[in-house]
Amino acid sequence: MGKEPVRVLVTGAAGQIGYALVPMIARGVMLGSDQPIILHMLDIEPATEALNGVKMELVDAAFPLLMDVIATTDAMVACKGVNIAVMVGGFPRKEGMERKDVMSKNVSIYKAQASALEKQAAPDCKVLVVANPANTNALILKEFAPSIPEKNITCLTRLDHNRALGQLSERLKIHVGQVKNVIIWGNHSSTQYPDVNHATVTPTNSEEKPVRSVVADDNWLNTEFVTTVQQRGAAIIKARKLSSALSAASAACDHIRDWVLGTPKGTWVSMGVYSDGSYGIQSGIIYSFPVTCDKGQWSIFQGLKIDDFSREKMDATAKELVEEKTLAYSCLN
Amino acid sequence: MAKEPVRVLVTGAAGQIGYALVPMIARGVMLGADQPVILHMLDIPPAAEALNGVKMELVDAAFPLLKGVVATTDVVEACTGVNIAVMVGGFPRKEGMERKDVMSKNVSIYKSQASALEQHAAPNCKVLVVANPANTNALILKEFAPSIPAKNITCLTRLDHNRALGQISEKLNVQVSDVKNVIIWGNHSSTQYPDVNHATVKTPSAEKPVRELVKDDAWLNGEFITTVQQRGAAIIKARKLSSALSAASAACDHIRDWVLGTPEGTWVSMGVYSDGLYNAPAGVIYSFPVTCRNGEWTIVQGLVIDEFSRKKLDLTGAELTEEKELAYSCLS
C-alpha cells in the first residue's frame, strides 16, 4: 500500500448502521480501493461486548485495507487523530416515533461529543452526522466545537438524494446511473423537499433530458414522488421492523467519498451544510443544498432558478429547522 | 458499463447474512468494480415483507453496478438464469445450539432447492453453500442436483481461513495481508483443522514460515486451533447474533477468487467435492487448499502432512462421514 492510512471514526459502531458501515469502509467503498484505513469505533458502555464482537469480526474478515481497529467506549480515545468522523451514535427511531421525540436525548450527546472531537481529532477532520435529528445534531456539534471549521461539519441527506434517484429510475424504468442532479433541500425529515426541476435523465443511446419532460407527469412529481421520498424511512421501518441501515451506510460512504474525492463533472449531490444564506435560506442552520466537491471542499451550486412551488417548500423546511434549533437550545438549558 | 450483467442469487436474503452480503455484491466486492450484477433474492413467505424492505433499500442505495433486483419467495423464479448461487437460507445457529441440532431442518431444504437450481439455473452456475451444516447441506444439494457438475458445488470455509489469518496477524502483530497459505481442512465445524504448516508471512527480507516466526508450537497446535474452531461461538457470545459481517465478506472472497483467480503463490480454502486426495474420505464435501484459475479450482497437491495433522484430517473426515449418514437418515 503506497498511501498513509486515514483514521475513520464511527460512533454508535455496535449498532445496525455501524455494522453495515464498517465493512464498507474496510473494503474501500468510502475512500477508494487504494486507501488504507484505521477504524475507530465508539459506543456506550452497555454495548462494550457487542462492540468487541464487531472488532473480532473485522479481524476475522482479513480486510487487506484495514490496518488497525480501535474499539472503545472512551470518546477521547475514539476521537484521537481522526481524519473523518461519521456520527451514527444516537437513539434509533422506532415504528411510530417522531423525530422530535428523539431530539432531547440526542442534543446532549452531541454537545459532549463536540468537545471530544474538537480536542482530539486531526486538523481538518471532516464530520458527517447521521443520527437523527441529523441537521440539528450537526448544528449542536458545530456550536460546541467552535474550533472545527464550520465547513467541516455536515449532515447526511445523501440517503434522501439516492432515494429520489431510485424513485425516478423505477418510474422511468431506467438504470439509476442514468439519472442525476435531483436536489434534497432542507431538513432530513418529512419536510425535506426533493426537487427534480434541474434533474436530468440520459436514456441509453440518447442525449441528456430534463426529468420533468421525460416523466411527463407533473402531478406525480409534485405530490406522490415528494411524499414517497419524504416518508421512505418510515416505509422501510414498516417493512423491515428495523431502520434503513444498509442504505444509510451506503449513502454515508457516498457522501464522504464525493466530498473527499470530488463529484463527477456535471453532477452535484445533496449535503446538509452550514447555510451561508444561499438561495434565501437563513444562515445559522444546517440545511441541505446541491453541492459540487473538488479538492476536499464542497461548494453550493449557485444560480439555479427556484419556482414558487419550490420556494414554498424550501421555506417550510427552513422554518422547521429554525424551530428545531430553538427546541434544541431549550433542551440544553 | 461494458460487461453483461451476472445474475447472483442469495437465498435467505431477508436474514442477517443476506443483509450484510447484498450491499457487498452490489458494490462489486464479489465480482469486481466493473462487473454489473442482477441480484436474485429468495426467502420464505413469512419473510416476504422484510425481503421487500431489503429490495427497497437496494433501490434506495442507487448502486451504479446493480442492474436489477428480483425479490421473491418462489424458488423457481429465484433460480432462473442465475450464474452464481449463494445459499445462505437455513436455520441460524443460536447461543448453545450444536450444528447437528440444525441438520435435520436443513437437509430437506437443500434437497428441494437442489431440484430448482438444477432445472432453472444458467449452465455452469457456481454454487456456494453457507448455511450450516455447510458441508453436508452442499453434499445434499449435489446429490439431488446430479446435472450440476460436482465441481460447481462448494461450501464456505473461507471464513475459517480468514479467521486463521487474522489470528496469526494478531499474534505476530503484522498486517493480515502479509500472512498467507494457512489451510482449513475438513468440516466447517469445531472439528475443522486450521493448519499453519505451510503458511508464510511476508517480511522485509523474505517470506518466512509462520511456525518459525511464531516460535510457539504449543500455541499453534493448541490454543490457535481451538480459537479458530470455536470463533463462531465466541462471536455469538459477544454479539448475541451470528457472525454475519465476516461470513458475508468471506462469501465474497470465496466467489471472487473462484471466478477471478487466486493471486500467484497463494492458495485459499474451499469446501469442495472430495475424490480422496490427501486420504480424505471420498464422496463428501471437504475443505482443501485450492488455487483458482479461469473459473476453476484445483486442489494444491503434494503438501507434506505430518502425523499431528494426519490425525486431525482424519478426525474431521470421520465427522463428515457421520454427518452424511445422519443426513441420509433424516431424509428417509
How do residues A53-69 score in pLDDT, each as one tens digit? 999 999 999 999 999 99
Q: How far is A151 from chain B (nearest CA, A)?
A: 25
User: CA-CA distance, B53 to B14, in Å (whole number)?
Assistant: 8
Whether B310 contacts chain A with CB within 8 A: no
pLDDT over 90 (residue A70)? yes
Q: Determine whether domain B6-155 maps to CATH 3.40.50.2300.
A: no
Give per-residue pLDDT as tens, A91-121: 766 677 766 677 888 888 999 999 999 999 9
Q: Where does the pLDDT of residue B104 fall: very low under 50, low under 70, confident under 90, or very high at 90 and above?
A: confident
Q: Are A92 and A125 in contact (CB under 8 A)?
A: no
Within 8 A by CB and 6+ apart from B280, the residues are B185, B186, B274, B286, B288, B313, B317
Inter-chain residue contact B249 with A63, CB threshold 8 Å: yes
pLDDT above 70: percentage of residues in chain A: 97
Closest CA to A252 of A11, A4, A6, A3: A11
Give per-residue pLDDT as tens, B192-247: 999 999 999 999 999 999 999 999 999 999 999 999 999 999 999 999 998 999 99
Cα torsion angle, A146, A148, A152, A154, sign: negative
pLDDT over 90 (residue B331)? no
Beta strand extents in chain A (DSSP E only):
6-11, 37-42, 66-72, 84-87, 126-129, 153-155, 179-180, 183-185, 193-195, 200-201, 209-210, 269-274, 286-294, 297-300
* pLDDT reported for residue A75: 97
The shortest CB-CB distance from A61 to any of B27, B57, B162 is to B162
Beta strand extents in A73-160 (DSSP E only):
84-87, 126-129, 153-155
Q: Do domains A6-155 and A157-331 have the same CATH topology?
A: no
* pLDDT reported for residue A319: 98
The stretch A230-237 carries a mean pLDDT of: 95
Inter-chain residue contact A20 with B19, CB threshold 8 Å: yes
pTM of model > 0.80 = yes
Mean pLDDT for all residues in chain A: 95
| B41-71 exposure pattern, b = at least 16 Cβ within 10 A, e = fewer | bbbeeebeebbbbbbbbbbbbbbebbbebbb
What letter would DSSP give residue B186? B
Q: Which of 75-114 (A) contact B at CB < 8 A?
A: none
Dihedral pair phi/psi, residue B157, rounded to 5°: -125, 5
Pick among B1, B65, B245 to test the A interface (most A CBs inside 10 A): B245
Structure-model confidence comparison of residues B92 and B178, the more confident one: B178
Name the grid cell of A204: 441509453
Instruction: Identify the three-state secondary structure at position A329.
Output: helix
The stretch A159-171 carries a mean pLDDT of: 98
ipTM metric = 0.96
The shortest CB-CB distance from A244 to any of B60, B235, B243 is to B60
Whether B169 contacts chain A with CB within 8 A: yes
Give per-residue pLDDT as tens, A114-162: 999 999 999 999 999 999 999 999 999 999 999 999 999 999 999 999 9
Chain B residues with CB inside 8 Å of A177's CB? 62, 64
Inter-chain residue contact A177 with B64, CB threshold 8 Å: yes
pLDDT over 80 (residue A26)? yes
Residue of B nearest to A33 (CA): B33
Q: Which of 261-280 (A) contact B at CB < 8 A?
A: none
Instruction: Identify the three-state secondary structure at position A41.
Output: strand
How many residue pairs from chains A and B have C-beta atoms closer than 8 A? 139
Q: Which of 9-28 (B) contact A at CB < 8 A?
A: 19-20, 22-24, 27
Q: Where does the pLDDT of residue B91 fall: very low under 50, low under 70, confident under 90, or very high at 90 and above?
A: confident
Catalytic residue among A161, A188, A198, A255: A188
For chain B, domain boundaries? 6-155, 157-328
Chain B residues with CB inside 8 Å of A49's CB? 238-239
Q: Which fold would CATH assign to domain B157-328?
A: L-2-Hydroxyisocaproate Dehydrogenase; Chain A, domain 2 (3.90.110)
Pairing of strands B285-293, B296-299: antiparallel
Structure-model confidence comparison of residues A95 and B163, the more confident one: B163
Element (H, E) at B195: strand B193-195
pLDDT over 80 (residue B21)? yes
Q: Torsion-angle region of residue B177: left (phi > 0), alpha (psi -120 to 50) or beta? A: alpha
The stretch A303-319 carries a mean pLDDT of: 98
pLDDT over 80 (residue B132)? yes
Q: Determine whether domain A157-331 maps to CATH 3.40.50.1980.
A: no
* pLDDT reported for residue A333: 75
Inter-chain residue contact B19 with A165, CB threshold 8 Å: no
Is B161 an active-site residue? no
* pLDDT reported for residue B60: 98
* pLDDT reported for residue B105: 83
| A273-294 exposure pattern, b = at least 16 Cβ within 10 A, e = fewer | bbbeebbebeebbbbbbbbbbe
Tell me if B43 is assigned to a ligand binding site: yes
